[in-house]
């Protein structure tokens, strides 16, 4: 993709990564991603907003071929998929001024090797004039690192938001209106990256509303020239009440736990409660995370391996707690051969959840009629807890 104009004087100079399938060696990227960087040219100065992932260095070099001067490099966020080529920019444009939040100053030294004294810290609300274009910096800690800031260009009502409002989505177009199923991609991204900071995000959403941008330009995925859509979606995800939905991440080795999951799904459905089982060995964890944005209850279902829960369910429990969803209730069900401590282990792993734990249901070997009756009682309890949820 070549350099592209967003509004006069502001160009996209990012890279599309069609083939990337994993982020942080953990997060599946079924639709690839992009790393958006932007060139802002004023009468007097030229600024580069972020860079791209170092694996796409050749693309950024191509975009900047013929750009004789960059006066300001804005590092909105120190994670390397955006800042990783900052050292190269500093080397190529030795007079460039590097601007970032005070918090980012030492992080840039730690993560990128650019000396802290080479970075000029900018205060929240501080402005830099490029001549006919102003950069106004808006500190936005915890979307999703502590050092992050947004950059507003009031002349164009254009807000650069770094990871905030992003989506892991590779596409040939540049704008949200050209994206298929954008809401699902953006929700997946919100669940995996932003949901742990939902409380902070609510405050930042208010700040963004007050700025009233006409264009929101994140660092991943498409640019929003109708920001109301993504702002409303974020408000729904961050503020909405939990839905009448139960998620059941599970693994079954010899079929006992699988039978219990099947029974619980039907028992919940018979009581008017929607339930989704996620068979972990074949589940895209991102799809599970998307539903965590809304679900009111999670039931971890696990066989017993060496007296503890199956490692797949250990991962699901740890991830669920780390994402800090708005779950209100949780339970553990499953099976064991002769003894086990799976419920206690799962509860300890997910102790960070602000959820009420319902009594566990475990079968020794094959589930019996008594097991299924216990599962029915669990379904009764969940249906009762969910009765006021939409
Ligand atoms: Fe896209 Fe937090 O980096």
Is the C-beta atom of 163 inside 6 A of ligand 1?
yes
Is the C-beta atom of 82 inside 6 A of ligand 1?
yes
Nearest residue by C-alpha to atom 1 in ligand 1: 163
Q: Could you please report the per-residue DSSP string of 68-133?
A: ----EEE-S--SHHHHTTHHHHHHHSTTPEEEE-HHHHHHHHHHH---GGGEEE--TT-EEE-SS-
* Residue closest to 1 by CA, chosen among 328, 268, 227, 223: 223
- Secondary structure of residue 59 in the 3-state scheme: helix
The alpha carbon of 56 and the centre of ligand 1 are apart by a number of angstroms equal to 15
Q: What pLDDT shows up at residue 170?
A: 97
Between CA 161 and CA 139 the distance in angstroms is: 10
Is the C-beta atom of 20 inside 6 A of ligand 1?
no
Is the C-beta atom of 386 inside 6 A of ligand 1?
no
Q: What pLDDT shows up at residue 310?
A: 97
pLDDT along the chain (390 residues), means of 10: 93 97 89 97 98 98 96 98 98 98 98 97 98 98 97 98 97 95 95 96 96 98 97 96 97 97 98 98 95 98 95 97 97 94 95 96 97 98 93
Helix-then-strand count for the chain, H and E: 12, 24
Beta bridge partners of residue 160, listed in sequence order: 151, 217
Is the C-beta atom of 81 inside 6 A of ligand 1?
yes
Query: Cα(first)–Cα(last) distance of the chain, in Å?
Result: 44
Residue 384 φ then ψ, to 5°: -65, -45
* Residue closest to 173 by CA, chosen among 229, 234, 230, 225: 225
Q: Which whole-number Å values give the CA distances from 43 to 46, 132, 317, 328, in the listed order?
A: 8, 6, 54, 54
Nearest residue by C-alpha to atom 2 in ligand 1: 79
* Residue closest to 13 by CA, chosen among 87, 67, 72, 91: 67
Q: What pLDDT shows up at residue 38?
A: 98
* Residue closest to 329 by CA, chosen among 354, 356, 294: 356
Q: What pLDDT shows up at residue 24?
A: 86
Q: What pLDDT shows up at residue 2?
A: 86
3-state helix, strand and coil shares in percent for the chain, rounded to the nearest 5: 35, 25, 35
Phi-psi region of 18 (alpha: psi -120 to 50; beta: other; left: phi over 0): alpha
Q: Which atom of ligand 1 is nearest to the CA of 220?
A: 1
Between CA 51 and CA 65 the distance in angstroms is: 14
């Amino acid at each position: 993709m070549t350099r592209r104009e967003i509004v006069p004087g502001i160009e996209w100079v990012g890279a599309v990564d069609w083939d990337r399938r994993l982020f942080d060696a953990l997060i599946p990227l079924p639709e690839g991603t992009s790393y958006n960087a932007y060139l802002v040219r004023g009468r007097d100065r030229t600024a580069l907003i972020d860079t791209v992932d170092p694996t796409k260095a050749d693309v950024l070099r191509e975009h900047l071929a013929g750009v004789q001067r960059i006066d300001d490099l804005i590092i909105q966020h120190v994670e390397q998929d955006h800042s990783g080529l900052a050292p190269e920019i500093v080397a190529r444009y030795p007079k460039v001024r590097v601007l970032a939040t005070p918090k980012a100053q030492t992080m840039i030294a730690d993560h990128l090797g650019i000396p802290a004294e080479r970075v000029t810290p900018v205060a929240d609300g501080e402005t830099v004039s490029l001549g006919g274009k102003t950069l106004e910096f808006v500190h936005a800690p915890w979307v999703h690192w502590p050092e992050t800031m947004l950059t507003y260009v009031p002349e164009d009502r254009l807000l650069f938001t770094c990871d905030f409002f992003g989506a892991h989505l590779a596409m040939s177009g540049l704008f949200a209106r050209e994206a298929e199923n954008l809401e699902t991609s953006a929700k997946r991204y919100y669940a995996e990256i932003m949901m742990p900071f939902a409380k902070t995000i609510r405050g930042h959403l208010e700040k963004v509303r007050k700025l009233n941008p006409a264009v929101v330009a994140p660092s991943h995925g498409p640019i929003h020239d109708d920001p109301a859509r993504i702002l409303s979606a974020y408000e729904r995800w961050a503020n909405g009440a939990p839905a009448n939905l139960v998620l059941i991440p599970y693994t079954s080795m010899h079929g006992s736990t699988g039978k219990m999951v099947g029974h619980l799904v039907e028992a919940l459905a018979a009581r008017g409660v929607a339930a989704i089982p996620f068979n972990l060995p074949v589940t895209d964890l991102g799809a599970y995370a998307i539903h965590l944005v809304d679900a009111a209850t999670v039931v971890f279902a696990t066989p017993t391996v060496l007296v503890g829960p199956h490692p797949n369910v250990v991962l699901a429990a740890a991830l669920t707690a780390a994402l800090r969803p708005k779950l209100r209730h949780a339970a553990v069900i499953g099976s064991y051969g002769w003894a086990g401590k799976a419920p206690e282990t799962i509860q300890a792993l997910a102790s960070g959840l602000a959820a009420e734990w319902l009594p566990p249901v475990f079968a020794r070997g094959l589930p019996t009629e008594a097991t299924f009756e216990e599962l029915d009682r669990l379904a009764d309890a969940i249906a009762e807890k969910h009765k006021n949820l939409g």
